[in-house]
Structure 1
Amino acid sequence: MDKSVLDGYVHAKELYAKHGIDVDAVLEKLAQIKISIHCWQGDDVQGFLFRDKSLSGGIAVTGSYPGRASTPSELRQDLDQALSLIPGKHKINLHAIYADTEEQVELNELEPKHFERWVEWAKEQGLGLDFNPTCFSHPKADDGFTLSHSDESVRKFWIEHGIASRKIGEYFGKELGQPCVTNFWLPDGYKDTPVDRLAPRQRLQASLDEIFAAPVDSRYNIDAVESKLFGIGSESYVVGSHEFYLGYAIKNGKALCLDSGHFHPTEVISNKISSVLMYVDQLLLHVSRPVRWDSDHVVTMDDELLDIARELVRGDFLGRTHIGLDFFDGSINHVAAWVIGTRNTIKALLRAMLEPIDQLREAELNKDYTTRLALFEELKSYPYGAVWDYYCATAGVPVREAWLDQVKSYEQDVLLKRV
């Protein structure tokens, strides 16, 4: 280890110790946190089941940066490269369209066998897997409706897909020894103002009830439901609103997914975490960076990311929260996007853990708001970066921006040689 990194860490430990913070213990706890890294950043949400199908259902990727993965093996190769630059052991989040199979198989016919290669790879790498039904970019979703469709035969197709997805999630959990979070998001909604807002929600409720009635072992599969405010083609009305899924999750004991980009541009999910976790047992986060709308930009170290991390740490919610990433930027190197977003998310959690929470809370309870504000502001310039550098060095990954050289070399040696 570089002496300057070690010296910086020793100095930082001394400063944080004055506030009663055991930095070594913080790093041990940080190493236990798994970030679910989304596979779809690596290939611009194309998947491998329907390669000739363009994106639809409110999904849009901008940019044409060269070298995106076009096969499962290429995607795993790119993920290997990204993971080698990120400290800790994590999870990979798959969508149903990322099945690794030579069969021509429909979404409602997917089985665990179609993901065996993913499981073999995850075992080799010591990773977990999460899963998502793919309710978009399909002929049976082209009119903007899936599980809330007015046509019973269409609903049946998507119900079967949902049941199949949960069984795949259960398979992941059993094989890998850690639960798989299977998250349900769908684009259902109207571009213009509807007459009947209730009926589609009643159909969605009935469809979800049928999907979740299928027996799946909750030790291996965790069901989650994800809301959205609006999307392309559903600007005026989304069936699966926040209120719908919050009520459904509470009533049915499901995990609730909060996506950073799925609310009004002036809303933040950090302010919702403590309220939601009063009433649901588990929370799934899709950490992204919306710019004016749900545009899924690469996660940066902004105020909202820090506030999300602080809420999780201050409320002692990490044990009940599953943290996943959800962005797809086709304008920059696909591997670099993973590395930047994941390292920032872990770094934000570290910064939150390095706060003297008890001291700040005591000042607040004593109505000593002067001390609360003064400490909070001074802590912003404490040397958390030195702690992060040491954490990366001990994890065997590059310190600071040194990872970029490896990504650039990988781009020249691998990505730019792809057809």
Structure 2
Amino acid sequence: MSMASMFDAAKKVYADLGVDVEAAFNRLDQIPISLHCWQGDDVAGFENSTALDGGLAVTGNYPGRARNADELRADLEKTLSLIPGKKRLNLHSIYAETDGRPVKRNELEPKHFARWMDWAKENGLGLDFNPSYFSHPMMKDGLTLSSPDAGVRKFWVEHGIACRAIAEAFGRKLRSTCITNFWVPDGFKDTPFDRLAPRERLADSLDKIFSVECNPRYNRDAVECKLFGIGAESCTVGSHEFYMGYAMKNGKLLCLDAGHFHPTEVISDKITSTLLYFDEILLHVSRGVRWDSDHVVTMTEELRAIAEEIVRHNYDKRVHIGLDYFDASINRVMAWTIGARNMSKALLMALTEPAAILKKAEKSGDKGSRLAWMEEAKTLPFAAVWEEYCTRNNVPGMAWIDEVKTYEKDVLSKRS
């Protein structure tokens, strides 16, 4: 049976359950997924200033890492050609292009991202952004915006202000609102006596950054919490409670990262709770494994649950989806593509749930039927539907793996 025939048969199976596959395709076409640039070069960036720190670690030395912006953009173009649906790109400030001249992070300007903006426009992408509060000599004793040193705080406040100006330029140039996410790794390896003072300093520093006006049409700010990090095991200044309160008080987006909570916590359960009180939130979709937070996104129960929460409650326009992981132990283009395709697949799975049947069972109190249909939905003929969606988006189905291996042979293997 041809794939087209398999799709026609699958489409009928879904239709018999009240699912309009064509409507699912159309809706998925409007949900952007923001790819993270740092998977392609192991969060190295182009400063060449210092080794990774601030709770970040990349393991593996698989050959073919992008060594400059042109190589990174080439790898991104290959990755984007393998992912169906609407995409964006998420940049960190360390990916500035300064033509070999050192530029301090607090002196970065939109001109240092001009090539990224031009490239994004050529490829029909919106850009998102992140200040980089890690891997820098001005991170003193594991602290940046919460440092007791006023000079350190001033430097990082200026960095945040500079990054928001860059993000605003992204939004204006590309006519697509840039989401600028603030993740600050400040914390303590051992138990501090005073947890309040550093949190007061962090709040004050953020207030100073956000006191500079940005046009919300072009830039929206998000703040991201974390349970702990390497070197910050006993106390993370920017905890979940800190940022949830700060974001709510100051009208910022709250960023929930799937790898930033206790291993028994899931962000899928937090989406409906937070959106009772926030207009919008940002997600960093990752895969936590025990204490680590940034493994390649796979088709886990949690990934499906995240997508289901977004779709079931019509949060398409209120939840911004970004990816955040980095793996240097495998082909980096493959890692990018696996995670992004899985996010898109999970959304399509959620969009093709027999929602009417499930709602009816739940409303009538028939919990057995609800559970039964949830389980039956897991083995519906989804593969043919996914292949059709890929075909309509002019990207390969399962053949994408061979394309990446060819790209590795022709391009990546030639990098030293």
| TM-score higher than 0.5 | yes
Matched with 2:412 is: 415
Shift in Å at residue 358 of structure 1? 3.0
Letter in 1 for 2:414: K
Q: Pick one of 264, 272, 296 that aligns with 2:262.
A: 264
Q: Is 1:56–1:142's contact at 8 Å kept on the other side of the alignment?
A: no
Matched with 1:79 is: 76
Return the alpha-carbon distance in structure 2 between the equivalents of residues 94 and 195 of structure 1. 36
Shift in Å at residue 287 of structure 1? 0.5
Return the alpha-carbon distance in structure 1 between the equivalents of residues 120 and 247 of structure 2. 29
Q: Does 1:88 align with 2:60?
A: no
Shift in Å at residue 179 of structure 1? 0.6
Q: Pick one of 47, 52, 67 that aligns with 1:70.
A: 67
Q: Is 2:140–2:152's contact at 8 Å kept on the other side of the alignment?
A: no
Shift in Å at residue 5 of structure 1? 1.8
Unmatched tracts of structure 2, length 5 or more:
none
Return the alpha-carbon distance in structure 2 between the equivalents of residues 174 and 383 of structure 1. 43
Letter in 2 for 1:201: R
Q: Is 1:57–1:142's contact at 8 Å kept on the other side of the alignment?
A: no
Return the alpha-carbon distance in structure 2 between the equivalents of residues 54 and 340 of structure 1. 27
Q: Does 1:249 align with 2:254?
A: no
Q: Is 1:162–1:211's contact at 8 Å kept on the other side of the alignment?
A: yes
Q: Is 2:260–2:293's contact at 8 Å kept on the other side of the alignment?
A: no
Matched with 1:148 is: 146
Q: Is 2:84–2:390's contact at 8 Å kept on the other side of the alignment?
A: yes
Q: Deviations over 1:337-389 (max 9, x none)?
A: 01000000000000001112232122112111111011111111101111100
The secondary structure found in structure 2 opposite 1:7 is: helix
The secondary structure found in structure 2 opposite 1:148 is: coil
Q: Is 1:58–1:232's contact at 8 Å kept on the other side of the alignment?
A: yes
Return the alpha-carbon distance in structure 2 between the equivalents of residues 88 and 311 of structure 1. 19
Counting only pairs closer than 5 Å after superposition, residues 221-236 of structure 1 correspond to structure 2 as 221-236=219-234
Q: Pick one of 182, 185, 188 that aligns with 1:187.
A: 185
Return the alpha-carbon distance in structure 2 between the equivalents of residues 275 and 113 of structure 1. 40
Letter in 1 for 2:211: A
Q: Is 1:42–1:69's contact at 8 Å kept on the other side of the alignment?
A: yes
Counting only pairs closer than 5 Å after superposition, residues 394-405 of structure 1 correspond to structure 2 as 394-400=392-398, 402-405=399-402
Q: Aligned-residue CA RMSD in angstroms?
A: 0.9
Moved over 4 A (4+): none
Q: Pick one of 215, 218, 223 that aligns with 2:216.
A: 218
Matched with 2:403 is: 406
Number of residue pairs matched? Answer: 415
Return the alpha-carbon distance in structure 1 between the equivalents of residues 139 and 191 of structure 2. 19
Shifted more, 364-373 versus 253-262: the winner is 364-373
Shifted more, 54-63 versus 10-19: the winner is 10-19
Counting only pairs closer than 5 Å after superposition, residues 8-407 of structure 1 correspond to structure 2 as 8-49=6-47, 51-102=48-99, 103-400=101-398, 402-407=399-404
Shift in Å at residue 142 of structure 1? 4.2
Unmatched tracts of structure 1, length 5 or more:
none
Letter in 2 for 1:69: A
Return the alpha-carbon distance in structure 2 between the equivalents of residues 282 and 248 of structure 1. 14
The secondary structure found in structure 1 opposite 2:268 is: coil
The secondary structure found in structure 2 opposite 1:344 is: helix
The secondary structure found in structure 2 opposite 1:272 is: helix
Shift in Å at residue 19 of structure 1? 2.0
Q: Deviations over 1:258-302 (max 9, x none)?
A: 001100011111111100111111111110111102331100001
Shifted more, 327-336 versus 352-361: the winner is 352-361
Q: Deviations over 1:157-185 (max 9, x none)?
A: 00000011111111111111111100000
Shift in Å at residue 52 of structure 1? 4.2
Shift in Å at residue 11 of structure 1? 1.0
Return the alpha-carbon distance in structure 2 between the equivalents of residues 21 and 151 of structure 1. 59
Return the alpha-carbon distance in structure 2 between the equivalents of residues 347 and 143 of structure 1. 42
Return the alpha-carbon distance in structure 2 between the equivalents of residues 377 and 138 of structure 1. 49
Letter in 1 for 2:237: V
Letter in 1 for 2:67: S
The secondary structure found in structure 1 opposite 2:317 is: helix
Letter in 1 for 2:415: R
Q: Deviations over 1:4-47 (max 9, x none)?
A: 22111111111111122111011011111111100000000000
Shifted more, 34-43 versus 368-377: the winner is 368-377
The secondary structure found in structure 1 opposite 2:2 is: helix
The secondary structure found in structure 2 opposite 1:8 is: helix
Return the alpha-carbon distance in structure 1 between the equivalents of residues 238 and 279 of structure 2. 20
- TM-score, normalisation: structure 2: 0.98
Letter in 2 for 1:80: E
Return the alpha-carbon distance in structure 1 between the equivalents of residues 3 and 291 of structure 2. 40
Shift in Å at residue 394 of structure 1? 1.2
Return the alpha-carbon distance in structure 2 between the equivalents of residues 225 and 192 of structure 1. 24
Return the alpha-carbon distance in structure 2 between the equivalents of residues 268 and 88 of structure 1. 26
